[in-house]
Amino acid sequence: MSQSTVLIVGANGQLGSVLTDALRAELGENRVIGSDIKMPKEEKGPFELLDIMDKEQLHRLVRKYQVTEVYQLAAILSAKGEENPKLAWDINMNGLFNVLEIARECNLKVFFPSSIAVFGSHTPRQQTPQETIIHPETIYGISKAAGENWCQYYHLKYGVDVRSLRYPGVIGYQSMPGGGTTDYAVEIYHSAVREEPFTCFLKPDTRLPMIYMPDAIRATLELMDAPEEQLSVRTSYNLASMSFSPSEIYEAIRKHFPAFNIEYQPDFRQKIAESWSETIDDTNARRDWGWQPEYDLESMTDDMIFHLRKQYQ
């Protein structure tokens, strides 16, 4: 890992911004190139403008920095994707194709984020197994399911070392999500710390799998560092940490803010959430590369509130 030069595509996003910092801390600032369609608010290291649909520019960056690993994080998420399915498909799929093609030509290692959105209402919702029914019902989920299979195809046919995780909803204080169905679980903390009431777009008992940012980042780095011969999944690994509903996260937050109020106004995202799993079986990740989450709802809530209080001071 010490000789890697990494390109992060989508480095301004919720996960990308935190992952870029984590990789810079591990590899050194100049070995991690951030890229996105806009410049970041704050430049902390090398950064390049990149539209992931522009394969030539991607190729130029790979050559310019002698990149050895690409994290392809640019995507349109589940709720936003439903507004313009064709655009979401184009961005999510062509972005991945461009990365896989260049990885094949230039012998790059690749990380592709998949999601619990690959599951659908025919998938078992409790302890969803690694190998199961994959009939996603959002364009985002369809693109992730297809993407997983393309990753495995490039690995089997061309030997590309591409690795992937099916992320649950990711919660962190450092960055805001955009356009997802699990976004409420970040927004609720901001409302609580600002001492404002919160309107939730899901029903109180809608349980979904979630993960705290430090665990999500550690899982990503551990998978990318794992010896190749230990990996048995080349589509995408199930990844579990915690599962909770809006009423449960509300109660956890109310221990810190007893006067905090919530109101429920479910919208189209309710149907998306109901098509996803409640809990995930991640036995393969635990067995193959030793995955073990550290945070639960209580410890995440303590940490989120501690950091957000400082941000809003």
Cα 159 off chain centre by: 24
Instruction: Decide if 14 contacts 209 (C-beta within 8 A).
Output: no
Is residue 140 annotated as part of the catalytic site, yes or no?
yes
Closest residue (Cβ) to ligand AKB? 180
Residue 88 or 103 having the CB closest to ligand AKB: 88
The pattern of x and - marking residues 206 through 225 that bind ligand AKB according to CB under 6 A reads --------------------
- Interface with ligand AKB, residue 78, by CB under 6 A: yes
Residue of 217, 199, 222, 298 whose CA lies nearest to 255: 298
CB 43 → ligand AKB: shortest distance, Å?
A: 26
CB 30 → ligand AKB: shortest distance, Å?
A: 31
Determine the interface stretch with ligand AKB among 178-186, 189-197, 277-285, 293-301 (rule: CB under 6 A).
178-186
Residue 167 or 250 having the CB closest to ligand AKB: 167
Determine the interface stretch with ligand AKB among 32-40, 51-59, 179-187, 282-290 (rule: CB under 6 A).
179-187
Residue of 38, 40, 62, 42 whose CA lies nearest to 50: 38
- Interface with ligand AKB, residue 202, by CB under 6 A: no
- Interface with ligand AKB, residue 77, by CB under 6 A: yes
> What is the footprint of ligand AKB within residues 106-135 (CB under 6 A)?
115-117
Determine the interface stretch with ligand AKB among 122-130, 175-183, 188-196, 251-259 (rule: CB under 6 A).
175-183
**Which entry of 71, 140, 237, 250 is annotated as an active-site residue?**
140
Edge to edge, the sheet with strand 69-72 lists 47-49, 32-36, 6-9, 69-72, 109-115, 162-167, 237-238
- Interface with ligand AKB, residue 180, by CB under 6 A: yes
- Interface with ligand AKB, residue 182, by CB under 6 A: yes
The SS3 assignment for 149 reads helix
Cα–Cα dist 209/16, whole Å: 20
Instruction: Decide if 266 contacts 260 (C-beta within 8 A).
Output: no
Residue 99 or 117 having the CB closest to ligand AKB: 117
Distances (CA, A) of 71 to 153, 163, 302, 308: 18, 10, 30, 28
Residue 70 or 76 having the CB closest to ligand AKB: 76
Q: Which two tokens stand for residue 110?
A: 């690749």
Which one of residues 13, 95, 136, 169 is an interface residue with ligand AKB (CB under 6 A)?
169
Instruction: Decide if 294 contacts 240 (C-beta within 8 A).
Output: no
Q: Which two tokens stand for residue 214?
A: 């430090």
Cα–Cα dist 258/256, whole Å: 6
Determine the interface stretch with ligand AKB among 15-23, 31-39, 173-181, 245-253 (rule: CB under 6 A).
173-181
CB 177 → ligand AKB: shortest distance, Å?
A: 6
Beta bridge partners of 153: none
Residue of 232, 110, 243, 220 whose CA lies nearest to 168: 243
Positions touching ligand AKB (CB under 6 A) are 77-78, 115-117, 140, 167, 169, 177, 180-182
Catalytic residues: 140
